[in-house]
Amino acid sequence: MTDANQTPAYTRPVVRLKPKAEARAIRHGFPWVYADELVTDRRTQALAPGALAVLEDGDRRPLGLVTVNGKSKIICRVLDRDPEAVIDAAWFARRLTRALDMRARLFAQPFYRLVHAEADGLPGVVIDRFGDVAVVQPNAAWAEAHLEALVAALREVTGVSTVIKNGTGRSRSLEGLVEETAVLVGGIDAPIPVLMNGATYMADVLGGQKTGLFFDQRPNHAFAASLARGATVLDMFSHVGGFALAALAGGATSALAVDASAPALALATKGAEASGVADRFSTRQGDAFEVLEALGTEGARFDLVICDPPAFAPAKPALEAGLRAYERIARLAAPLVAPGGYIVLCSCSHAADLSAFRNACGRGIGRGGRRGQLIHTGFAGPDHPLLPQLAESGYLKSLVFRLD
């Protein structure tokens, strides 16, 4: 037994916060330690990316079990409050069971985000479920190192027969990880039909964007669809038909889907066919800004215009340029809205908070010669829970304006 004033002898390496670092935030649930907050001596620097260690505060009091990656600006991610926790398949199964319980209550069919990284207690890990198929994004070095145990637990808890690793994206590069997509278990040879909001979407889980479908926009698709009855719709950055197909299911008279990706639009067309709305659905491939300008020149008008672009401001250095891009989108899109019509503007940028995004959209609408009422603010669905201590886990914003 150790003395109350003596540091316990741990079986794992110990890393320590600098004396002025804020340990209270970690105790209150903040899941990250930044590189400039940690003592990085030779022992810490020698730890392999993804190694497990005990985190102590400046007074050598334990804060919990963390994973360490000296190649990342987020040098530590908190895994467990217990410094001696064993990270094995059973540990993963407990986290996954808790995550699954909520999703099973929320959704009648198994199509959802099963794990939303830190908010579900698995830092840097995203898992989207498509029925019998699960797509895992191990976006942190520790998850890559423990992938076998994670997949074993995932199959045990959910019963899925196919597991795909989607190792692409900016997050992995920030962790020093290579990009790789692989079928880890089972197999798949065709897009997966996913029923949401009365429409059928085709998810390419091997070659599509992200995991193949954006589950986070589900409630925003539904709200836009409620405005679409009898309306003509323009869906910019449509991907596989996100807003357009939901709007057609909601009674839109027509929907034009615009995207730069021909494969994505081909899947959108297949989704329209599967949904029985192909006669009211059309596509246009091209750069969104160029298409918006061309539609303006053509004098096109729509009752409902949706713009759901990629993250223009994924990090703080890109914030100002990103906000200018969002303003430009609103400026070009607003004149395309028929009098009394609606415009939906979305952002999935971590760095652009709601206030900054709303202000950029307002400026753009005004510069487009229009005035409007903000009637609705939407966020990601409940399968993308927000960790209150981590603002970055609440990235998605959707603003709906009615224009004069």
Burial 101-113 (b: 16+ CB within 10 A, else e): eebeeebeebbbb
- Cα 326 to the center of its chain, rounded Å: 18
According to DSSP, the β-strands at 254-259 and 232-236 are parallel
- For residues 380 and 274, what is the distance between their CA atoms, to the nearest angstrom? 26
Task: Identify the pLDDT of residue 1.
Answer: 39
**86 Cβ neighbours under 8 A, 6+ residues apart:** none
Beta strands 51-56; 14-16: pairing state? parallel
Helix (H) or strand (E) holding 374: strand 372-378
pLDDT for the residue 210: 81
**CB half-sphere exposure, 326, CA atoms < 13 A:** 34
Stated as kind and residue range, the H or E segment containing 78 is strand 74-80
Report phi then psi at 290, rounded to 5. -65, -40
How confident is the chain (404 residues) per 10-residue block, as mean pLDDT? 53 92 90 95 94 94 96 95 96 98 97 97 97 96 96 98 93 88 94 97 90 95 98 98 98 98 97 98 98 98 97 92 97 98 96 96 98 97 94 91 96
DSSP state letters, 219-249: HHHHHHHHT-TT-EEEEET-TTTHHHHHHHH
Q: Work out whether strand 133-138 and strand 162-167 pair parallel, antiparallel, or are unpaired.
A: parallel
Please give the domain boundaries of the chain with CATH numbers for all domains: 14-80 (2.30.130.10), 89-185 (3.30.750.80), 198-403 (3.40.50.150)
Cα atoms in the Cβ-side hemisphere of radius 13 Å centred on 145? 15
Q: Which pLDDT value is given to residue 133?
A: 97
What are the two backbone dihedrals, phi and then psi, of residue 248, each rounded to the nearest 5 degrees?
A: -65, -40
Query: Are 233 and 252 a contacting pair, CB within 8 Å?
Result: yes
Catalytic site positions:
348
Nearest to 231 by CA among 347, 344, 373, 349: 344
- What pLDDT does 7 receive? 53
**Residues contacting 43, CB < 8 A, separation 6+:** 13
